[in-house]
Amino acid sequence: MKLQMVDVVGQYQKIKGDVDGAIHRVCDSGQFILGKEVGEFECEVAGYLGVTYAVGCASGTDALQIAMMALGIGPGDEVISTPFTFVATAETIALIGAKPVYVDIDPRTYNIDPARIERAITPRTKAIIPVHLYGQAAGMDEIMALARKHKLRVIEDAAQAFGAAYKGKKVCSIGDIGAISFFPSKNLGGFGDGGMMVTSDPALHDQMRMIAAHGSKVRYYHDLIGVNSRLDTLQAAILRVKLRHLDRWNEDRRAAAHRYNALLAGTPVEVPFESADGVHIFHQYTVRAPERDALAAHLKAKGIPHAIYYPVPLHLQKAFAMSGGKQGDFPVTEGAARDVLSLPMHTELNEEQQILITQPIKEFYGVQ
């Protein structure tokens, strides 16, 4: 039996007819850039999330950058986020000339700890970017209260959490802007790169749409400096098909996560915490494991797929050395980076596969 971290081919095979039909419609239309499928998909995403506007773009990374550009963030500004995330979150802050300011994480959710944010706010702070890591929402009530108190903007980084909820609201519908990734391995993944910004603010919507199209509303008339970042029509057509299945797929992931929890009972592995405030959609199933690196080597020897998200916190990355980050700055994050291990998680995962995946973990810890 072949085990995989993500089974995008197996998922495709189950909806092949609908996906292939969508691709052929686009090919027959010849509208490969900003075809009608893009606008229809934007409307469907906005409706799904409970927001007013959605703007497709080329990637989740672009979504973050365009969101900050639309908010007027630039050189000399500071943006608060987490050091425990994929590099794109801080990379985009640096690319527009602003400074990433990190806040340590909650040890249970791995998301930014709202209780630590206020002490990081300075007169130069312009925004907070909470990351809904692994598919679980950050503490948005506390974050939004701080943002209102200090007149800050909030961009939700939902690259790993499309479909997750917080107190009855979909993530991306709570902050000023939500940034989404449609990378193939995401819960709603395309057949290539793709992303989206969502908002209920008409002025921000107009600004983001212009920025994503070279700063233009009317062709060849440019009101501001923008970028070239479009969601391909082919990707939009494929994603429209997959959106119809998303809630069921997320429930399949939740069921698989709960099976993992049961299979790992009795081991020293710490299974994922699920906050009562929201719905975790398990983009990753991430445990904390004693002797993580030795366990990872054991799994590799047994042919069991696994991954570490993320082994080096952003404040210790070479690319951000100019910021002067050092070991010990964010102890909770650094502890997580030493211990976390992600097991295979996808919509095609079944109990037989999960037994094969977890048995070597039990063997490693001497658990029957």
Give the tens place of pLDDT for each residue, 197-219: 999 999 999 999 999 999 999 99
Whether residues 199 and 336 fall in one domain:
no
Whether residues 90 and 27 fall in one domain:
yes
Say whether the peptide bond before residue 310 is cis (omega within 30 degrees of 0): yes
Contacts of 186 (CB under 8 A, 6+ apart): 159, 160, 162, 283
CATH number of residue 152's parent domain: 3.40.640.10
315, part of any domain = yes
Domain boundary among 216, 243, 270: 243
Contact 183/176 with Cβ under 8 angstroms? no
Domain boundary among 243, 262, 283: 243
Residue 8 CA to residue 348 CA, distance in Å, equals: 9
Whether residues 118 and 257 fall in one domain:
no
2, part of any domain = no
Residue 151 CA to residue 356 CA, distance in Å, equals: 51
Domain boundary among 243, 269, 298: 243
Structure confidence at residue 1 as a pLDDT band (50, 70, 90): confident
Whether residues 251 and 177 fall in one domain:
no
Contacts of 175 (CB under 8 A, 6+ apart): 130, 140, 143, 144, 147, 153, 154, 155, 156
Whether residues 97 and 162 fall in one domain:
yes
Sole residue written with tokens 């709603």: 188
Residue 155 CA to residue 163 CA, distance in Å, equals: 16
340, part of any domain = yes
3, part of any domain = no
CATH number of residue 269's parent domain: 3.90.1150.10
What are 78-113's pLDDT values in tens digits? 999 999 999 999 999 999 999 999 999 999 999 999
Residue 314's domain comprises: 246-365
Q: What is the mean pLDDT of residues 23-45?
A: 97
pLDDT in the model for residue 305: 98
pLDDT in the model for residue 354: 98
Decide if pLDDT at 11 tops 80. yes
Q: What one-character DSSP code corresponds to residue 229? A: -
Q: Is 122 exposed, middle or buried (0-12, 13-18, 19+ CB in 10 A)?
A: exposed
Structure confidence at residue 50 as a pLDDT band (50, 70, 90): very high
Whether residues 152 and 210 fall in one domain:
yes
Contacts of 285 (CB under 8 A, 6+ apart): 134, 256, 257, 260, 272, 342, 343, 344, 345
1, part of any domain = no
pLDDT in the model for residue 93: 98
pLDDT in the model for residue 2: 87
Whether residues 120 and 252 fall in one domain:
no
Q: What is the mean pLDDT of residues 342-359?
A: 97
- How many Cβ atoms sit within 10 Å of the Cβ of residue 317? 16
Whether residues 258 and 220 fall in one domain:
no
221, part of any domain = yes
265, part of any domain = yes
pLDDT in the model for residue 225: 95
Q: Range with the lowest mean pLDDT among 12-16, 145-149, 318-322? A: 318-322
Contact 295/143 with Cβ under 8 angstroms? no
Whether residues 277 and 170 fall in one domain:
no
Contacts of 99 (CB under 8 A, 6+ apart): 77, 78, 79, 93, 124, 323
294, part of any domain = yes
Decide if pLDDT at 322 tops 90. no
Mean of per-residue pLDDT scores for the chain: 97
Q: What is the mean pLDDT of residues 225-235?
A: 97
Whether residues 140 and 272 fall in one domain:
no
pLDDT in the model for residue 231: 98
pLDDT above 90 coverage of the chain, percent: 99
Decide if pLDDT at 132 tops 80. yes
Whether residues 183 and 148 fall in one domain:
yes
DSSP one-letter string for 304-319: ---B-S-SS-GGG-GG
Q: Is 303 exposed, middle or buried (0-12, 13-18, 19+ CB in 10 A)?
A: exposed
pLDDT in the model for residue 44: 98
Q: Alpha carbon of 131 to those of 114, 139, 228, 363: distances in Å? A: 12, 10, 25, 34
pLDDT in the model for residue 145: 98
Residue 237 CA to residue 231 CA, distance in Å, equals: 10
- The number of folded domains in the chain is 2
Whether residues 69 and 126 fall in one domain:
yes
Read off the tokens for 314. Answer: 């952003």
Read off the tokens for 342. Answer: 């992600």
